Structure 1
Amino acid sequence: MVASFDLDQRKDKVAVVQYSNNAELNFNLDTYKTKADVLKHITSLKPKGGRPQYIGAGLQFVKDNVFVPNAGSRQDEGVKQILIVLAGGRSRDSPRGPASMLKTAGVTTFAIGSRMSNSAEMEMISSNPNFKYSKTMSINMLKTLYPLVVRQPAGRDVVFLLDGSDATRSGFPAMRDFVQKQVDTLSVDDGKDRVSVVQYSSDPAVQFYLNTYTTKREVLDSVRGLRHKGGRPLNTGAALRYLRDNVFTASAGSRRPSGVPQVLILITGGRSFDSIDEPASALKQLGVLTIAIGTRGSDPRELQTITGEPSHAVSVSEFTDLPNVQEQLSSVMSTVPMRVTPLTPTVTGKNMTHLQSPVSL
């Protein structure tokens, strides 16, 4: 597999970890700079030894020690993260939790097992049931499937969270117009971008999910028909928590597990009545890029806490001034990493980790 990667130009990076009763790093993503060095090390690998097998602990080790920036991971730059698990037996611990955390972190996992492996475990570990293989079919299938994993449409999942409390009634039409202008710049019709709109006051209300509409016309028609929600107080924290649990999810149309960038655009006119610290942190952990736009009734420090980046917190005097920040918002949106579709089925731009059982396959 490594022989087919583009390592010499640093488009791809490779790491190898062995596991048995514990995990052992053979080399990380930044250890070697050339394909020759990587292949030389792989050729000299010796079985780690040890028993029993703890696949769950091995997955946890990879998440905490390999798919991290200081070990060479470029996930923050939008580079695809791929894990190949080679297993020769059943695990003595449960891989469910660590496998789920890897998926949440945006890592695409392929599991290859021998006849001594547990098929249910392999399926649990894999990002997709189609990514589970037996020894005999593994290499050819992986070579076929890699391009399909990496060559996904460029795009973003964009969620608008709108302050629909009593205090924004007069400014709501301007807020609605602003959302329309933003949607008009997105590539919805070709399936690249997806859009969701949520209003909130004391509680959130979904206007439509990321997978509700598939054309720009449908999205725009729905936005034009938005009616002010009303209600009080303004619970921004509860709304952010709701988005994490109900909108940035696969069932609601989020493509985060496939590595599609997740963007939240919050437009608010006041201070939150509840705490935003934990929900905002949880969204950051999901990898959601948040842009917050507030009026003079908002708390600038609160907006910066929500975004985690001062330049992503924008202020206007009134909602009618929203067109003045259109260009600034477009500039921030342009920094969101976009997935690129190669012209040929060549696998490039990956951080690859092989997690191997010491049992020979």
Structure 2
Amino acid sequence: MRDFVQRVVETLSVDDNKDRVSVVQYSRDPAVQFYLNTYTTKREILDNLRGLRLKGGRPLKTGAALQYLRDNVFTASAGSRRLEGVPQVLILLSGGRSFDSVDAPASALKKLGVLIFAIGTRSSDSTELQKIAQDPTYALSVPELTDLPSVQQQLQSSVEAAVIDVTPESPTVLVDHAKKDIVILLDSSDGTRNGFPAMRDFVERVVEKLNVGENKDRVSVVQYSRDAEVNFYLNTYTTRQDVVESVRGLRHRGGSPLNTGAALQYVRDNIFTTSSGSRRLQGVPQMLILLNGGRSFDNVDSPASALKKQGIFVIGIGTKSSDIGELQKISYDPSLALSVNEFTELPSVQEQLSSVMSTVLVRASPVTPTVTVETQPAGRDVVFLLDGSENTRAGFTAMRDFVQRVVETLSVDDNKDRVSVVQYSRDPAVQFYLNTYTTKREILDNLRGLRLKGGRPLKTGAALQYLRDNVFTASAGSRRLEGVPQVLILLSGGRSFDSVDAPASALKKLGVLIFAIGTRSSDSTELQKIAQDPTYALSVPELTDLPSVQQQLQSSVEAAVIDVTPESPTVLGMLTSTASCLKGYLTCLTFTEGKALALIVD
């Protein structure tokens, strides 16, 4: 075992700080031989390994050891660069069956974004190893530990090829930008019969711009009406000419009714799969382009959400007969729901689509694409952003009362929930931070004395950016990096004088769930852009009518399961979030070098 570890370390790039290594032994209890930040040269690591001696002890508790790694080794203080987007790899060498359960600890490591390889012997439990490993194919076996050299090349190849989705504390995803898997879903119901030739020509032009190949871009086309039908899979064709010829031969299927939800579910279950040619598990960006000509007869919410959770970037393109709200729900970001009057006008959005596709960074999720946190048991960090401009002078008391009633429902005293209040007009002003008060009484006492800030113009974009930089931070009391859901409730009484797009996107990228509540004087489209989902943009005629939406807001917050995906520190090579990348057509960089390796030795 010791010799095997030495040979693996010999292949790594430690001296230039690309790779870091930790070694842990365990039996009943784990014992760290050295951490990821203990040594900075390969020579130091190898010298230590040569002196490695058996720890001894029994029984074997692999579950406890895995949990220990999660809590003590894959941490920033121990040298892990997980929050910087560096892939985290665990190689387990085991010679027997565990005396405790490995299920929960293994799952917790995977949720943290750790790629696990498990190597055992004939004395090991193969089922247990497969549970531990990221994928059953990553559970390797040898007759005896002396046979470990026989799997070294296989292990090394797998580690080198692996691209790991680092979640939940970082949205950074290491992806291969040289290739994409693109599925095109065509509405071929009776309603699109006249426009189908234009759809087909549009698809052909999209394909013409791709670099199709076995190890480059892959394309699949699916038609649907009542049911979905595959024209060809991602691994059917390996040349652009073959794809183009197949597209030219597409014939309109027809049929009714239009079941877009079922079609989305179909492509998730049958097309974005390894057997159909998807390289999602290898970190290759996954894209779905939907061309739609009508409202769906079934619900699209759950299938669309499932695609996003799997890391699939969806762009919806519709006509005047489509339901724009539905397309916004389906698309990865509401602003990416494109629209034309008729399919014959599709060339007008061709350039926009090409720009999006050229910069797309899709979260490629090997096993657990998202990590969900139940809001109530874990607590929440709740920030209220109040329009304190002259727009709300008449309704400010109603706003203040509304915030007080919401706070009354929170669990502040036991430190589950934390609250911050910020007012803004031209500039934001913090009333108190998330860590200012620790009891509900203190918060309510402060709120009773809240007075209108005043001022104009209203700059909601600047206020959102301020929250991101100064309130949703650890120093201000945010527990985002601990996985605590982050909630923002915006109360606005008018249209913003600056752009909200990029700041709202940045907050969402940080993992903040945003609810936006406005009045008839607000811009409903603006509120929908700000909110996490258009359904989270609520409206009342006047601020005095806020009590009418309190229960709706409370129910939504209570039910919300938040994908906690904060942003990594800004470093060269950090990935820009999908939304901000696309909205600004920025050049996105990827940090692809370096691996953090931890070896746990039985």
- TM-score band w.r.t. shorter chain: 0.7 to 0.9
1:160 Cα deviation (Å)?
0.7
Q: Which amino acid aligns with 1:53?
A: K
Indicate which of 186, 208, 217 corresponds to 2:210: 186
2:135 matched to which residue of 1?
Answer: 127
Kindly state the Cα deviation for residue 34 of structure 1 after the two structures are TM-superposed: 7.9
Question: How far, CA to CA, are the matches of 2:318 and 2:38 in structure 1?
Answer: 46
| Higher gyration radius (CA) | 2
CA distance change for structure 1 residues 198 and 130 in 2, over 3 Å: closer, same or farther?
Answer: same
Match for residue 598 of structure 2 among 345, 354, 359: 354
1:105 offset after TM fit, Å? Answer: 10
Structure 1 runs not aligned, ≥5 long: 340-347
Q: Is the 8 A contact 2:227 2:262 kept in 1?
A: yes
In 1, Cα distance between equivalents of 2:359 and 2:34: 32
Deviates more, 1:90-99 or 1:168-177: 90-99
Q: Is the 8 A contact 2:140 2:151 kept in 1?
A: no
Corresponding residue SS for 2:359: coil
How far apart, CA to CA, are the structure 2 residues paired with 1:160 and 1:170?
A: 19
Unaligned runs of 5+ in 2: 1-7, 163-175, 365-591
Find the aligned partners of 1:351 and 1:172 in 2 and give their Cα distance.
Answer: 48
How far apart are 1:241 and its partner, in Å? 1.0
Q: Name which of structure 1's ranges 96-105 and 176-185 shifts more when overlaid on structure 2.
A: 96-105
1:311 deviates by 3.7
Please state whether the residue corresponding to 1:198 is helix, strand or coil: strand
Task: Specify the alignment match of 2:315 in structure 1.
Answer: 291
User: Cα offset for 1:198?
Assistant: 0.8
In structure 1, distance between residues paired with 2:237 and 2:273: 16
**Separation (CA, whole Å) in 2 of partners of 1:317 and 1:155:** 32
Task: Using the TM superposition, give the Cα deviation of residue 349 of structure 1 relative to its aligned residue in structure 2, in angstroms.
Answer: 2.5
**Residue 248 of structure 2: which of 210, 220, 224 is its match?**
224
Residue pairs, 1:195-344, within 5 angstroms: 195-337=219-361
CA 238–140 in structure 1, closer or farther in 2 if over 3 Å, else same: same
Distance 1:278 1:24 in 2: 45
Deviations 1:304-344 (A, max 9, x none): 222232343222222122222222212221223499xxxxx
Residue 303 (structure 1) shift: 2.1
Q: Could you say what secondary structure the match of 2:306 adopts?
A: helix
Residues 102-133 of structure 1: CA deviation (Å, up to 9, x unaligned): 99999754222255422454356363647615
Q: Which shifted more, 234-243 or 112-121?
A: 112-121
Q: Deviations over 1:184-240 (max 9, x none)?
A: 222223532211111111221111111222222222121111111212222211111
1-structure distance, mates of 2:241, 2:327:
31
CA distance in 2: counterparts of 1:18 and 1:188, whole angstroms? 47
Q: Which amino acid aligns with 1:35?
A: T
RMSD: 4.6
**3-state SS, counterpart of residue 97 of structure 2:** coil
Tell me, what secondary structure is at the counterpart of 1:214?
Answer: coil
Give the alignment partner of residue 91 of structure 2, picking from 84, 88, 92: 84
Residue in 1 aligned with 2:518?
none
The letter of the residue matching 2:40 is K
Contact 2:81 2:596 in 1 (8 A): no
Task: Tell me which residue corresponds to 2:185.
Answer: 161
What SS does structure 2 have at the residue aligned with 1:270? Answer: coil
User: Is residue 110 from structure 1 mapped to residue 117 from structure 2 by the alignment?
Assistant: yes
Question: What secondary structure, in the 3-state scheme, does the structure 1 residue paired with 2:275 have?
Answer: helix
Identity of aligned residues (%): 50
Aligned 1:48-59 pairs, distance under 5 A: 53=61, 55=63, 58=66
Matched, 1:150 2:160: yes
What is the SS of the residue equivalent to 1:85? strand
Number of matched pairs: 342
Work out the CA distance in 2 between the residues paired with 1:34 and 1:326. Answer: 52
